[in-house]
Structure 1
Amino acid sequence: MMKQSIWISFDLGVRGDYEGLYQWLDSKGAIECGDNFAFFKYESSGDIIENLKNEIEESIEINKKTRIYIIYRNGVDAKMKGRFIFGTRKAAPWTGYAEHQEFIEEEEG
């Protein structure tokens, strides 16, 4: 068994099973890191992604609005990795706020 640092970001939607997730996070000794963001040490053998996914699935009600993203250090090359274990990426609320200049090259006709 190996203990690994995990950061978890979650959005369960308006009617999500926050109580179940909070109970699970509390059982892991998770610490709060901002709105819907937590850190904990996870003890696991085997595929950490599958183990986390299975354990969370057994603890909370998952629906189509459930989005859970984890950040962890890959055991193979020790690089930081991140991925959704439930749900997918959606458009960022800040999309369109920055000015992007389009450079058009003009030439004499």
Structure 2
Amino acid sequence: MKKTVWIAYDLGVKGDYEGLYSWLDNHGANECGHNIAVLEYDVKQNLIEELQKDIIENVTLSKQDRIYLIWREGGKIKGKFIVGKRKAAPWFGYGAQEPQIDEEVEQHG
């Protein structure tokens, strides 16, 4: 079954962009802005496991590399890092947010 997925990637300065770009090109991906691509991926049973394995086998990755997968499932949009993890947002602290007040928790006992 074919699934439409979006891939956001951050391979840093020294990343294997040639390997990733070859993988994206081989899967008929379309560019969607800076470091984002959309493609139809042929899934047999498990989208995340199959796509993650496919990328890892074809792209040389380092500990700092990150790839985020976005897909639709059951009418909902889902997302997950398939390589790497979330880090602090560069825009944190720029907004005009109310300071959070710690709530007191009443302890019984």
Instruction: Using structure 2 for the length normalisation, give the TM-score.
Output: 0.87
CA 1:19 to 1:101, structure 2 compared with 1: closer, same or farther past 3 Å?
Answer: same
3-state SS, counterpart of residue 85 of structure 2: coil
Unaligned runs of 5+ in 1: 105-109
Q: RMSD in angstroms over aligned alpha carbons?
A: 1.4
State which of 78, 81, 100 in structure 1 corresponds to 2:78: 81
Amino acid at match of 2:53: N
Equivalent residue, structure 2, for 1:99? 96
Q: Secondary structure at the match of 2:7?
A: strand
Q: Give the Cα–Cα distance (whole angstroms) in 2 for the partners of residues 91 and 78 of structure 1.
A: 29
Runs of 4+ in 1 over 6 A off after TM superposition: none
Residues 60-108 of structure 1 deviation map (CA, whole Å, 9 limit, x = unaligned): 101101100010112xx3321100000000111110001223487xxxx
Partner in structure 2 of residue 45 of structure 1: 44
Query: What percent of counterpart residues are identical?
Result: 51
Secondary structure of the corresponding residue to residue 55 of structure 1: helix
Q: Where does structure 2 lack aligned partners over 5 or more consecutive residues?
A: 102-109
Which runs of structure 2 are paired with 1:10-49 in the superposition (5 Å)?
10-49=9-48
| Distance (Å, rounded) in 2 between the aligned partners of 1:91 and 1:57 | 24
What TM-score does the superposition give when structure 1 sets the normalisation length? 0.87
Partner residue, 2:107 = none
